[in-house]
Amino acid sequence: MNKILILGASGFIGNALYKELYPYFDVYGTYFSSTPSLEQNQIMHSYNITKDSLTTVLQKVTPNHVIVSLRGHFPEQLRALSELCTYAQKHNTRVYFLSSVNVFDGKTEYASHETDLPLAKSLYGKFKIAAEKLLSSRLPNQQFAIIRLPIVLGVNAPRIRQLKEATKSQASFEVYPNLIISCTTEDRIGRQLHYIVNHELSGVFHLCSTDVIHHSDLFGEIAQKLELEQVVFKNIYESNSNQYMAILSTKKLLPKQFDVTIQQIVQEVTLKEEIVTLKEKLKR
């Protein structure tokens, strides 16, 4: 059975990947924030990117697949990624790096595809480009995959939580009327990465919706579906014209069953919220 190590398994996306993969593979993970349940768990390993050596964790777990979903200071992440590449070279370990739409945040005229050259203006985008280049310079093409993600939604996604909290406290929620985006959910990332790992695929993947939408329209629809009352949207205009912060996929490396539209994503996010709410009512 394939042994998978998820770096950053306690995070929002990392946790979703763990839940998707552990019924089918021998899955391990790392965490930074300590809790009693994780400390007693033989599957989860404490890893402080600032103080600890990643090599120690790798030698303990001996994975043949590693999914990188880390957070932390950029130089320390690059150091950890370098350690991972050294280990992967020696042990023929496959690496799946979660990158971001931000590698294209220096290009705003159109949506970006897998074959487009990255260009970033933000520090975050430049870091992700540096990480992608590190992988491509250290490992053979067939040994790694770059997984670029757009805005990630879900019932417990940070942006959805912020929207709900802002509504409760009557605080403003920032939206960008001139920003065109694509999106996905953490559950869909889990299923898609499951397929990629299971088939040992390599290359660059854009795991995103098949269409795009204005940022303000997306969160307006979500707020309406969730029946959030008196939402205070604060419009932020960073340009007088439309700008893209969107990735799309033209290579179609995954089966059509993984395609998803923004409307489907909105339905999934809000339908799950309705189910959760109903379960809470039934418990009372």
Alpha-carbon distance 257 to 253, whole Å? 12
In this predicted structure, what is the pLDDT of residue 240?
86
In this predicted structure, what is the pLDDT of residue 32?
83
* Contact criterion met (CB below 8 Å) for 176 and 217: no
* Contact criterion met (CB below 8 Å) for 135 and 146: yes
**β-strand pairing of 213-214 with 179-181:** antiparallel
User: Mean pLDDT of all residues in the chain?
Assistant: 91
Cβ-based neighbours of 86, under 8 Å, separated by 6 or more: 55, 138
Instruction: State the average pLDDT over residues 36-43.
Output: 55
Bridge partner residues of 243 (DSSP): 179
CATH code linked to domain 153-181+210-247+261-283:
3.90.25
CATH code linked to domain 3-149+185-206:
3.40.50.720
Q: pTM to 2 decimals?
A: 0.91
pLDDT at 54 over 60: yes
Instruction: State the average pLDDT over residues 219-236.
Output: 92
Q: How many percent of the chain have pLDDT more than 90?
A: 82
* Contact criterion met (CB below 8 Å) for 147 and 68: no
In this predicted structure, what is the pLDDT of residue 34?
56
User: 78-98, pLDDT tens digit by residue?
Assistant: 999 999 999 999 999 999 999
In this predicted structure, what is the pLDDT of residue 229?
83
User: 238-263, pLDDT tens digit by residue?
Assistant: 888 999 999 999 988 899 999 999 99
- Domain coordinates in residue numbering, the chain: 3-149+185-206, 153-181+210-247+261-283
**β-strand pairing of 44-46 with 172-175:** unpaired
Burial 20-40 (b: 16+ CB within 10 A, else e): bbbeebbbbbbbbeeeeebee
